[in-house]
Amino acid sequence: MQRCLVALVASLVACGPPKPSVTVPAPVGTGATEGTAEPKPTKQGDALAPPQPTLRLPRNFLPTSYAARLVIDPKRDDFDGSIQIAGEVSERSSVIWLHGRKLTIRKAVAQQAGVEVALAVTPKGEDFLEIRAQKPLDPGAWTLAIDYKGELDKLNTAGAFKQIVADQSYVFTQLEALYARRIFPCFDEPDNKVPWKLTLDVPKPLVAVSNTPQTGESQVSDTMKRVEFAQTKPLPSYLVAFGVGPFEIVDAGKTKRGTPVRVITLAKRRAEGAWAAKTSPRLLELLEDWFGSPYPYEKLDLMSIPLTVGFGAMENAGLITFTERLILIDPVKASKEREHRYVVVAAHEIAHQWFGDLVTMKYWDDIWLNEGFANWVESKASAKIDPTYRDDQAELTMRNDALNADAIVSARQIRQPIESTDDILTAFDGITYDKGASVLAMFESYLGADVFQKGVRDHLAKHAYGNATSTDFAQSISQASGKDVDAAFASFLEQAGAPEITATLSCQGGKASVALAQKRYVPPGSPTPPAGKPWIVPVCVVYDKGGGARGEACTLLSAETGTLELPASKTKACPRWMHPNVNGRGYYRSPYTTAQVTALRDEAWPKLSWTERRTLYFDVTDLATSGKLPLATALSFVPKLLAGNDRFTVPPALDFSIWIRDFVPDELLPKYEAWVRTTFGPGARKAGFTPRAKDTLDVEITRLELLHAVAWIGRDPMLVDEAVKLSDKWRDLPQSIRELVLHIAVDAKPEFFEKIRKDVYTEPDRTRRGEMFSALASVRDVERQKQALALVLDPKLDIRETLDIFGNSTTRMNHTVAQQFFREHHEEVMKRVPTDDTAGPLAGLAYIYTWSCAADQRDAIADYVTKTFGKLPGGPRVVKQAIERMDQCIARRKLLEPELRAWLGGIKLPKPTGNAAPQAVNKP
């Protein structure tokens, strides 16, 4: 599943797969995982009667297959259902338990060889159904037949939900992680992986799609038809999916192995499915090659959903869903970034068809086995769709993002024990996705790509159509490599945080070595973490070998300290420099002394790869903002990064330069903005707003980043004027610059702000509408900002689109205004917002306040967000992390402000020419 992180929320087998057996396979897994134990069953006479579960279901009944028929009419607000659940009763039982939420049970019986036993079904709590038999069910095979009614959700995009676009109604599904129970009475846990057969009764004019190909269609009435689908291969409940609506179908042809691929678009949006139709079959073929096995399902459909909350795409077997802003792409004006984004997300979801679908984790504590793998594999396919993407470089970006997510003491461990549903809801985060992928990349580099790939293929072959754990995977890699990596993997999976490895070069007796020492990285502002164990981490260094050559050496550091002996250099002299992370593949941070940084910057730079340079820059900027290196040292790397002139070097240089703005004292902001214009203005003006036909993804993104820095942050008058002129026909602009032009013009011209504010009500295009909301939310003038915030309360607008307005404030004053507005209208907002996010808990609204980074408000903010958001789903962990982030920010501000004053006070800028830069409206 691809997370859809809104701004305010901290924003592989040479042979083919076996054919499913005609007989129903036994369920996989029969026991609860650690940390999820349930109360011991009790006896009623000689029959088992387990008490109400608190998280996981008792195992005295396990389904072996499902057959469900649903009546789905998108014009209704509910649906009718009947389901036959074949399963095994393990011992004589009077009570069995299923998951079920918001289901009204009409009738239920248990059937066995012509015998029928009445069942009384009673909802218990929010998620459980107590199934009490009129007489005890003896051990053996039974079928539970249940008739019921359910709801179509009109706000949350969870379970079966309804959406209306251009007066056309649709029904979609999203069942990960805990939402299958809203459609089916079922065993809604991933280790119960069995075949499903689905039949849908739908209005005659509509199209119905599901995980498998359609096998039949018949008339039910004058207005309704029955659509039958083939039985699935074994699936966990959360991967079952369907859609019903006036869809248009784009035939994308077949892959080389014969798999049919289709794009399912919304009505009258067929043309926008062309890019997905062009690239998806090729992605599927590339991943078949990498995994070494054919695609494991009969067909692949890729379906658009108008609007999703908490997720952007979902890997349902054979029916991948995407929010429309990912898959429906303007064939004329689309940006390269938009096209690339689809390719990356589609690669992620298609990779899941092997990792996640073919082989599923046993329980949610191992969700990283799905998401971390998909994140790790996606670039292996997307990089080959277009060589100019150079997506192999994206691994380091993901590693850096993971290290940032891991930079709080309250961070989760990758394999997080699941003790409540909150632990499931908060498991879809940067630790699962990015850290999981980065740990895989590190061990792939350590063991060798071919060896690691063999381990992955062996793992998939061994567990195909079943479930597996982290231990199972580590064993597969150990067997393929001939090295026992179980403990090394566990050291990263089962404890939170990231190593900080100090590497010190020394030379004695003509021999060079590197002394290594590791500890947990803890930035200023965080509490002291609990004691942990040393990581077992591959450490590879690159060093000056003499004669202009570079050398590399590796070791496995398994204790708090260690030594790495370096092979003799060509000149037998002591190496002049050493970089402690070859190609940035090690998942750790590295502290440097000023002398080490100077040598790497001034002497080693030409010998380092770009990933090594970026790794160095990442560490240096962190050290500078933690008071361990001068700020000027970090800023000295900015021109060196800009010289890379691509989307992996220019944005980091600009991002750091812009990030420090939040710590600049108010009275020095004009000088800071002038520094931005002087430093980055020539590049931005040369790039200009106008895209060119030959632009690559690199060119497009670097242009946008430069323009954002200079025109938006630096408020360069020439570029502001140009953007205002372009805004006259903003809808016709190329997508790559359209949103930035809107931001600038809405901020610069009150009358244009008012026009956009009115036009957003009638704008039919969801992408443009999103750009309009974003621009309105970012306006600096506080009176106009209040008008933009009021849009969140307007029932004529969809709050799922407007809620991000709270998170797009530009200045410190704007942050304060947004906070006060939310506080005043808290009840109104909370009554309208979706509460069932799949991967972005609503408690992330706490960041509206913790972004303040104000020491004098710290305790009051912490108290408010704890009381306001701490009881929401996923709230305790999210709020705790938000408060710790605030504490870190406060600590960095204290360290940085004196340096910023000294730096800005000491720089001399050229006198301005032409129009003077605009003064701040409502100085932050």
Residue positions annotated with a catalytic role: 349
48 Ramachandran zone, left/alpha/beta (phi>0; psi -120 to 50) = beta
Cα 763 to Cα 268, 563, 808, distances in angstroms: 17, 63, 20
DSSP state of 711: I
- Can you read off the two tokens belonging to residue 812? 């410190």
- Can you read off the two tokens belonging to residue 1? 């599943």
Alpha-carbon gap, residue 620 to 635, rounded angstroms: 9
β-strand 300-305 against 47-49: which pairing, if any?
Answer: unpaired
Alpha-carbon gap, residue 190 to 192, rounded angstroms: 5
Q: What is the DSSP string of 669-680?
A: HHHHHHHHHHHH
Residue whose C-alpha is closest to residue 355's, from 437, 282, 277, 417:
437
Q: What is the DSSP string of 794-832?
A: -TTS-HHHHGGGGG---SHHHHHHHHHHHHHTHHHHHHH
Alpha-carbon gap, residue 581 to 608, rounded angstroms: 11
Report helix angle 394-405 to 610-625, nearest 10. 20
- Can you read off the two tokens belonging to residue 579? 């970089």
Cα 434 to Cα 414, 494, 829, 888, distances in angstroms: 10, 16, 32, 21
384 — phi, psi (to 5°)?
-90, -10
DSSP state of 355: B
| Under 8 Å between Cβ of 666 and 924 | yes
824 burial via Cβ count (<10 Å: 0-12, 13-18, 19+) = exposed
| Under 8 Å between Cβ of 880 and 426 | no
| Under 8 Å between Cβ of 647 and 641 | no
391 Ramachandran zone, left/alpha/beta (phi>0; psi -120 to 50) = alpha
357 burial via Cβ count (<10 Å: 0-12, 13-18, 19+) = buried
643 — phi, psi (to 5°)?
-65, -20
Alpha-carbon gap, residue 769 to 307, rounded angstroms: 12
User: What is the separation of C-alpha 630 from the centre of its chain, rounded to a whole number of angstroms?
Assistant: 34
Radius of gyration in angstroms for the set of CA atoms belonging to the chain, rounded to a whole number:
29
Alpha-carbon gap, residue 195 to 190, rounded angstroms: 13
Please state the length of the chain. 924
- Can you read off the two tokens belonging to residue 888? 């870190």
Kindly tell me the sign of the dihedral angle through the C-alpha atoms of 483, 484, 489, 495: negative
Q: What is the DSSP string of 191-217?
A: T--B-EEEEEEEETTSEEEESS-EEEE
DSSP state of 392: G
Cα 879 to Cα 174, 401, 844, 905, distances in angstroms: 26, 20, 7, 38
Cα 440 to Cα 444, 480, 493, 541, distances in angstroms: 6, 15, 11, 19
Alpha-carbon gap, residue 878 to 858, rounded angstroms: 17
β-strand 359-361 against 466-468: which pairing, if any?
Answer: parallel
Helix (H) or strand (E) holding 881: helix 875-906
In the block, tokens 């039910």 appear at 220
